[in-house]
Amino acid sequence: MARMTSLPYDDQRATAPPVPQAYRGLWRRTLLTTGDGRIDRETRVFWMQTERLHIDIRVPAARGTFGAASALAALTREQLIDLAAQMGFAGMTTVDEAAVVVDPADGRLDRCTWHRQIDFSPPSDARDLGTMRFETPHVVLEDGIEAVYHERWERDPASLGLTWAVRLSREAAHAAGLLADDLDGAARDDAPSVFIARCGDFFMLARSRSPRAQAVLASYRGKRLAEAVRDPALDIDHVRALLDFEISLGRVRGNDGARWTIELSTLPWREGQPAFADAVSAALDRLQATPG
């Protein structure tokens, strides 16, 4: 990898309006209720929102520990099925001011849409949108518009402060040292592949699977990822490629030790480890209020 002195970023100001300041930060879901009566308080769900970009991670509380495994290549199919129960995505967020309504009982309700650009799950025709009502500045309640659910989100006060996001194509991410695979012979792909965001003391990273693996997953449109992982028609190498999709949440610490340290990840062996190579960390340290 060439020495990196700066990190390119995607300026979305011309195509997407910023979300209101009230939404920005790191939010943890503390309650989910669904139309069939299911209640979930255990799944570890975090949503980071910057000026325009979002990253979301959802890790079941019952996910295995995987022992000493340090790579997907060390996992059995059953262990890969366990990983496939995770969820997460990244993309652009919009608050549609024209769709804002005022409920006599609840007051102002914003309508938010999360436009997923990379997704841990197979493609779907379902849209991700909901009405949002702030109970307090640090608590927001979300109700589905095209699906029946209710979620309670609480913002971590330590996520207020410096906020930025970068969004990179696969080629740009490879040049920056964020992807280790070989792009020789691969078709040029300008679609977003890597997202990095920071809110206060926290950061999130989302890295999509390879275009080849994503093309395989397209044949499972509308299904759960676990269905693809269980499919005997896919050999174990193809299954591992489907799960080579990282979403990680971490903290930006002091200058002693690993500064950008992962605390939760769809790749469990990354937890407790530095998120980036030294050159990438140094470039991120230089970012201030990057549009995003």
Per residue in 229-248, pLDDT (tens digit) is 999 999 999 999 999 999 99
Whether pLDDT at 130 is above 90: yes
Q: What local confidence, expressed as pLDDT, does residue 181 receive?
A: 62
What is residue 173's predicted lDDT score, i.e. its pLDDT? 86
Predicted local distance difference test score (pLDDT) of residue 171? 86
Q: Which two tokens stand for residue 271?
A: 């937890």
Domain ranges in the chain are: 21-285
Q: What is the per-residue pLDDT across 205-231, written as a single tens digit (0 to 9) for each?
A: 999 999 999 999 999 999 999 999 999
pLDDT band at 107 (very low <50, low <70, confident <90, very high): low
- Answer for the pair 61, 40: CB distance below 8 angstroms, yes or no: no
What is the DSSP code (8-state) at residue 274?
B
Architecture of domain 21-285 in CATH?
Answer: Beta Barrel (2.40)
CA 128, chain centre distance (Å): 14
Radius of gyration of the chain (CA): 19
The average pLDDT across 154-172 equals: 93
pLDDT band at 257 (very low <50, low <70, confident <90, very high): low
The mean of the pLDDT values for the chain is 88
pLDDT at 141: 97
pLDDT in tens, 41-99: 999 999 999 999 999 999 999 998 888 899 999 999 999 999 999 999 999 999 986 55
User: Is the per-residue pLDDT at 1 higher than 50?
Assistant: no
- Residue 154: exposed, middle, or buried by beta-carbon count in 10 A (0-12, 13-18, 19+)? middle
The DSSP secondary-structure symbol of 87 reads: E
Which of 52-61, 119-128, 179-188, 267-276 bottoms out in mean pLDDT, i.e. has the lowest?
179-188
pLDDT for the residue 5: 44
Full DSSP string of 137-157: TTEEEEEESSS-EEEEEEE-G
Residue 77 has which token pair?
């199919």
Tokens linked to 1: 């990898």
Q: How far apart are CA 116 and CA 247, in angstroms?
A: 14
Nearest alpha carbon to residue 234 among 254, 213, 209, 208: 213
Cβ partners under 8 Å of residue 63, min gap 6: 82, 83, 85, 86, 268
pLDDT score, position 23: 97
pTM, entire model: 0.91
Gap between the Cα atoms of 108 and 133, Å rounded: 7
CA neighbor of 285 nearest in space, from 203, 205, 207: 203
Cα dihedral sign for 19, 7, 203, 58? Answer: positive
- Taking 60 as the threshold, does the pLDDT of residue 261 lie above it? yes
Residue 147, phi then psi, degrees to nearest 5: -145, 150
Q: Which helix (H) or strand (E) holds 54?
A: strand 53-59
